[in-house]
Amino acid sequence: MQADIMRQVMAQQLEMQINSFGIDPRFLVGESRDHYVQAMALALMVEMGEVMQEISWKPWATGQWFHREAYLEELIDVLHFWMNLVLVATDKPEELLAAYQRKAEVNVNRQADGYTGEGKCETCGR
């Protein structure tokens, strides 16, 4: 069931990119791919800022609110841009799920081993 939902979201987002903008993220290469990824990543970050505007996140403020409908709408904007980034790599929900599961296993193991955040990269040691 979940793969069907993800397949539907991926297909709809791909259709929108092709029909509305004439861009098929799956076939971008080189500089055009780089620019597309940069634009989508920036848009995603901006939309996350808009998500945060719909909740009371400031610990120094006394107000408490959660604008659920607006919050959800902003999350959908985030999903659109995130999905564009995903489509650069794959349009197969099974491949996305497999990558998620591999990374989730790494994260679970890190937590179990007392992950400190250091030594994450074997090449540079960061």
Find the CATH number of the domain harbouring 66.
Answer: 1.10.287
Angle at which helices 2-21 and 68-89 cross, to 10°: 80
Main-chain phi, psi angles of 6, to 5 degrees:
-65, -40
The whole-number pLDDT of residue 25 equals 97
53 in a domain, yes or no? yes
Q: Is residue 23 part of a domain?
A: yes
pLDDT score recorded for residue 122: 73
Does 117 fall in a domain?
no
Q: Tell me which residue range forms the domain holding 41.
A: 2-91
Separation CA 96–CA 7 (nearest Å): 10
Give me the pLDDT at residue 116, please. 85
Q: What is the pLDDT of residue 114?
A: 86
> What is the block-wise mean pLDDT of the chain (126 residues), using blocks of 10 residues?
83 96 97 98 98 96 96 98 97 93 94 83 70
> Given this model, what pLDDT does residue 125 score?
65
Question: Does any domain span residue 107?
Answer: no
Q: Is residue 123 assigned to a domain?
A: no
Question: Does residue 101 sit within a domain?
Answer: no
Residue 108 lies in a domain: no
Burial of 6 per CB tally in 10 Å (0-12, 13-18, 19+): middle
Q: What is the CA radius of gyration of the chain?
A: 18
The reported pLDDT for the residue numbered 3 is: 67
Q: For the chain, how many structural domains are there in total?
A: 1
Contacts of 126 (CB under 8 A, 6+ apart): 118, 120
Whole-number Å distance between alpha carbons of 115 and 124 = 17
